[in-house]
Each structure stands twice: as structure tokens, then as C-alpha cells.
Amino acid sequence: MGPLLGLVFGLGCLMVWRSGQHSPARASRRDRWRVRTRELLAQSGVEGVSPAQLVGASVSLSLLVGVLALGTSHVPVIAIAFAGFAALLPWALVRRRRTQRSAELREVWPEAVDNLASAVRAGLSLPEALTALGVRGPEQLRSPFRRFGEDYRATGRFNDSLDRLKANLSDPVGDRVVEALRVAREVGGTDLGRLLRTLSSFLREDARTRAELETRQGWTVNAARLALAAPWLILLLLSTRPQAVAAYNQPAGAVVLVAGGVVSFLAYRVMIRIARLPTERRVLR
């Protein structure tokens, strides 16, 4: 009777767990996470990588670094610490690439808007002007506008092609430009050239101001990151000599290492929050 009750209890726990896995709230959170991760990958310019692949790369790198650290130091808590750092590395690289790409696009958008204004002034239609950016526009923007041209030639649907262009760009400035062009296409009028020139001058001023702020705070942020990473780099070097880190095999040593990791994480988050400049959100998705 006892084994049967245990089996029934186990099956009941499994059914409860499975129902939680498929609950609407959990599915909604999972969908929101996928959407945010896809947008992060799109904003970083990483093509052909899905959220699941990014998670797989993170887990694989974490396991590899954990095994190497354990084999070198013979201290499990050190291996777990560096495995955690390795798991965060792919995400940090993607976010860094997003920041770099955002800065690059901020520099080239005024040139792209000027090209659009010149094409409209020369008598080209809006689809033709946008398609031309895929050939003669800034290098960083050619791929999305080239895909826009291919999509528009295949479907002939301007609004749908603009929506896919916004998704490919995943950029707040791109959203504003696209929506301005959409309104100009639907309403008509002769003020599109003036609107584009005004937008170009505004984007240049905004890029100049932000570049000055980032330059002034860049050395401070880099110095803070170096100060944060220095203790862990020293620990990594000491890990090559197991006798030098044998103390971390003791409970007190493990507590010290865990406390150092928590303090480092909190200090890094506070530093990033203090140094973060206001970022423009995509309100015109």
C-alpha cells in the first residue's frame, strides 16, 4: 500500500508541476521574454541567432569554464563563481554590441535623412527613395533598406513593407523616420522635404550632445569596471596554484567568496545605474 500511495503522490506532484508549466501566466512571461530577447538581438545587429541559441551558448560556455576552473583550482565554489561569470558573458557581449550599434546608427541617421530629402527633391517616389538607401545610403543601414526594396517589389504594399523595415531596424530614430514617411505618404503635401531637413538637423545636434556626454563619462566608467574586475582577475591567477586557494575549500572561505560576489554584483549594478544616460525608447513600434 505504501509504494502505491507514493506513486500516486508522485504522479500528482508531476501533474501539478506540468499544469504550472503550461499556465497562461507562465506562457505570457515566456513570450514577453522571447520578444525582449529578439528585440535585443535585432538592436545589436546579430542576425540568424534565436533566443534559445543565445541561452544555449550561455549554458555551454558556463559548463566549459566551470569544468576548466574546477580542474585547475580543485575548489568547487571558485568553479561555480567563474561559471556564473561565463554564463553572463554572451549577454554582456550582445548588450555591448547593441550600445555600439546604437551609437553608430545615431551618427549615420542624419546622412540617411539627407539622402532621403535629396531623393524626394529630385522627384523620386518614397518607395524609390527608400530603396535607393539600400544602394547609396550609409553602410550600416544598407541591409535593412535593401530588404525593404526587395519586400516592396515582391508585395507592392508600402505600409506592410514599412512595418517590416521598422522591425529590421529596431531603432527609435528609425521608428520616427518611418512614421513620418508613412504620414507623408497617406496625407500628401509638399512639406516632406522641409520635415526631413528639420529632422536631420535635430538628429545631428542630439548625436553631438550625446557624444560629448559619453566621452566625459567613458573614462570614469572604464576605471570603475577595472576596479571591479581586478580582485576576480587576481583570483583567476591564484587559481592556477591550488595550494594558494585551498582556503576557499573551507566554509569560511566559501562565505567570503560568495559575499564578495554579491557585493561585486550590487556595486556593478549601482555603477551602471548611476552612469546610465537617458535612452530613447521605441514608442512608435
How much is the pLDDT for 12?
43
Report if residue 69 sits inside a domain: no
Computed over every residue of the chain, the mean pLDDT equals: 78
pLDDT band for 25, please (50, 70, 90 cuts): low
Report if residue 48 sits inside a domain: no
Report if residue 184 sits inside a domain: yes
Report if residue 116 sits inside a domain: yes
Total structural domains in the chain?
Answer: 1
Q: What is the DSSP string of 42-68?
A: HHHT--S--HHHHHHHHHHHHHHHHHH
Q: Which of 102-106, 147-151, 212-216 has the highest mean pLDDT?
A: 147-151
pTM over 0.75: no
Kindly report, residue by residue over 170-181, the tens digit of the pLDDT. 888 888 888 878
Report if residue 31 sits inside a domain: no
Question: Residue 131 is part of which domain span?
Answer: 110-189
Report if residue 271 sits inside a domain: no
Longest dimension (CA), the chain: 88
Kindly report, residue by residue over 222-259, the tens digit of the pLDDT. 777 787 888 888 888 888 887 777 777 888 888 888 88
Kindly report, residue by residue over 44-76, the tens digit of the pLDDT. 877 778 888 888 889 999 999 988 888 888 888
Report if residue 29 sits inside a domain: no
Report the 10 Å Cβ neighbour count for 148: 24
How much is the pLDDT for 279?
65
Is 138 within 8 Å of 111 (Cβ atoms)?
yes
Report if residue 42 sits inside a domain: no
